[in-house]
Amino acid sequence: MGQVNGCVISRRTVLGAAVAGAAVAGLAACGEAEWYPADVTPDEYVLRSVIRDKERMVVRYEAAIAEGSGPAELLERLLGHHLTHMDALVESLPEDASPTAPADLADGEGDPPAEDPASGAAMDAAGLRLLESAATSARLDQAGSVSDPGLAQLISGIGACEAGHAYLLGRV
């Protein structure tokens, strides 16, 4: 490669030194620093997102039941499923986590992000079916993006239940 102060330096020597330097730097980075420096882990972020989706779904079902825009018995049963899902999701939050969203997931005042204006509007069975179908596909992506296998299984199970909801609502 060349000479430096009368010494011949080969490419292998330079490459070896570069690899050794990278290894030392990598090991030094593994010291005592937290592996994820943010207050909210990626898994908790996904979990809180699913919880917010469920809260919106509950509001829509409650509005549909109040307006009588579908078979009340079926809608009440599906609403019960969503409430059960929300309980399981809240229980899955880390022990030291607050059940309310942290400031970086909220609108700056500790409240969840603003809802869309139509979130409380009553929907018929066809509209709820579309919401359930969309939620099912979102759960697939969310389950694939978490690292905790138990959380992935919970989110997948919720998605499967939502697929069943979409099927039942399609038969109305």
CATH number of the domain where residue 120 is located: 1.20.1260.10
Which domain, by its residues, includes 17?
1-33
Clarify whether residues 59 and 142 are in a common domain: yes
Q: Are 85 and 159 in contact (CB under 8 A)?
A: no
Question: Taking 50 as the threshold, does the pLDDT of residue 108 lie above it?
Answer: no
Identify which has the larger pLDDT, 93 or 5: 93
Section 102-129 average pLDDT: 61
Clarify whether residues 60 and 121 are in a common domain: yes
Clarify whether residues 20 and 80 are in a common domain: no
Instruction: Give the contacts of 38 (CB within 8 A, at least 6 positions apart).
Output: 104
Mean pLDDT over each residue of the chain, to the nearest integer: 81
Clarify whether residues 149 and 65 are in a common domain: yes
Clarify whether residues 116 and 163 are in a common domain: yes
Identify which has the larger pLDDT, 170 or 172: 170
pLDDT at residue 61, rounded to an integer: 96
Identify which has the larger pLDDT, 39 or 87: 87
Section 83-103 average pLDDT: 82
Instruction: Give the contacts of 39 (CB within 8 A, at least 6 positions apart).
Output: 102, 104
21-39 pLDDT, tens per residue? Answer: 666 666 555 555 555 556 7
- Sign of dihedral through CA atoms 40, 43, 49, 51? negative
Clarify whether residues 14 and 68 are in a common domain: no
Q: What is the CA radius of gyration of the chain?
A: 25
Q: How much of the chain is helix, strand and coil, in % rounded to 5? A: 65, 5, 30
Domains in the chain, number:
2
For 22-31, 78-87, 130-139, which range has the lowest pLDDT when averaged over its residues?
22-31
Unique residue bearing structure tokens 């009368």:
6
| Single pTM value for the model | 0.69
Alpha-carbon span 82 to 89, nearest angstrom: 10
Beta bridge partners of 9: 2
